[in-house]
Copies of this chain bind each other. A is one copy, B any other.
Amino acid sequence: MRDHGGSATSVTSAAPRCSGRATSVPRCPLVITLRSAQKVTTASRGLARWCQLPLPSSSSIRIDDDADASSEGGALVPTSRDVAKLAGVSQSTVSYVLSGKRPISPETRKRVEGAIAQLTFQPNAGARALASQRTQVIGLVAPFGVTSDHSGLLPFIETIARSVRDHDHDLLLVTNDEGADGLVRVAGRRIVDALVVMEVEARDERIPVAAGLDVPVILIGVPDERAGLPCVDLDFHAAGALAVAELAAVGCRSAAVLGYSSAEIDRGINYVPRFLEGVHAGAARLGLPLTVVSPVELERASVDAALDEVLSVESDEGELPGLVLPHTEGVAGVLRALADRGLVPGRHLGVVAMSTDAAAEEFTTPLTNVSLEPRDVSRRAVETLFRLLEAPADAEAPGIELVQPRLTRRASTALPPALAAAQLTA
């Protein structure tokens, strides 16, 4: 047993003796005796302060700390061996009671559970991982610091963390700074059982590395070459088509897309072309004239230029095109630029944006949006990952799962009676 930092303090643990290693102050019933006043050290001073006791100058103090008393500074942690002894069963029985991997008689179970409760036993995760080859931890590779804004990231992290907990696992955050090495590290050292890789790029250096790991990996996003790895993502093609279909439905005679920022395009994020293809396909099917301006940067000047270009293409009847705003971060800037021109979404022109519902409702004119469904995508990713984790090695590997986007009509496509009427009679 380790000394408590000063020879003045001696610790004697009373029965039942725990077999665990002492970190500092045992959690078992104990007696602390301060032997000599002269030799009182910082450690014993600290301890006394902790216990809210005056530091005695030349007497001994007694602390009766019961088993589940929570005093900081370390504890002699009970093991499953202690539980077994107390319950009068073998250690394996304790393990089986915990895991449910074999039938246990009701009486035995009761005794074991009682002992567990009495000792406030909690299984050691490291020992369990070593013996079972399962860490019960999932790694999440999150794209911190790649782009400036990441407000959209949080719902993913949150939902993934919760879903993983629903499967009795924990979530380890792997920042993207480490790149592919991070994947190799957490998988190779068996820190995690499986990985979720977020925001994969079209040609992502992490893909071949991830495919070579001997733990299951799921991608959020769809790279050009997925190397056999399962992917989950929003159906951005459908999202693009949905956006133009809405504009057509409310009577817009043409559509214009104010594209992504060049930062986003340069990163080769695969949803950019997928969304634009969807827009094109949708417009073509509906016979809607389409203009795409891309890239559009977040800066005011770039937004103004793009808007000028788009608004100059008005139709013969002086009608403005319906606007599709795929770039969530840029939406606020475009709306501001519209306001500067005295243009009100839903009155002078239709606007559909890719954004969360919450963000869409925040604007002066609530926006019709196509939701990014981060929660659905995250949940699906985790479900698939656990199916993979539990699947026999010969199971069918899942492919690409696409979550269908959802459009919610709000004021920004509530077009004027004239247009709406035209639409109704059409």
Contacts and interface: CB of A to CB of B under 8 A. Distances in A.
Interface of A: 4-6, 21, 23-24, 27, 41-43, 45-46, 50, 69-75, 77, 120, 122-130, 133, 135, 137, 140, 144-145, 148-151, 153-154, 157-158, 161-162, 165, 170-175, 177-178, 184-186, 188-191, 208-209, 211-214, 228, 332, 336, 358, 362, 364, 392-397
B148 A151 contact: no
Contacts of A393: 4-5, 24, 43, 46, 73-74
Given A125-B189, A126-B129, A130-B124, A154 B165 contact: no
A212 B46 contact: no
Given A42-B394, A72-B211, A126 B135 contact: yes
A172 B137 CA distance: 9
Q: By CB atoms of chain B within 10 A, which of A144, A209, A396 has the most?
A: A144
Contact of A72 (B154, B177, B189, B213): B213
Contact of A162 (B120, B144, B149, B150): B144
A129 to B, nearest CB: 3
Contact of A188 (B122, B130, B135, B208): B122
A165 B150 contact: no
A227 to B, nearest CB: 9
Contacts of A171: 172-173
Nearest to A158: B144
Q: By CB atoms of chain B within 10 A, which of A145, A191, A392 has the most?
A: A191
A172 B175 contact: no
16 contacts: A70-B208, A72-B228, A73-B214, A75-B214, A123-B189, A126-B127, A126-B129, A126-B190, A144-B158, A148-B358, A149-B358, A157-B173, A161-B173, A162-B177, A171-B172, A172-B172
Q: By CB atoms of chain B within 10 A, which of A4, A172, A394 has the most?
A: A394
Q: 5 tightest A-B contacts by CB?
A: A70-B212, A126-B129, A43-B394, A122-B188, A5-B394
B137 A158 contact: no
Given A42-B396, A126-B128, A157-B173, 11 more contacts: A43-B394, A46-B397, A70-B209, A72-B212, A124-B190, A150-B154, A151-B154, A165-B178, A170-B174, A170-B186, A173-B173
Q: By CB atoms of chain B within 10 A, which of A21, A70, A177, A397 has the most?
A: A70
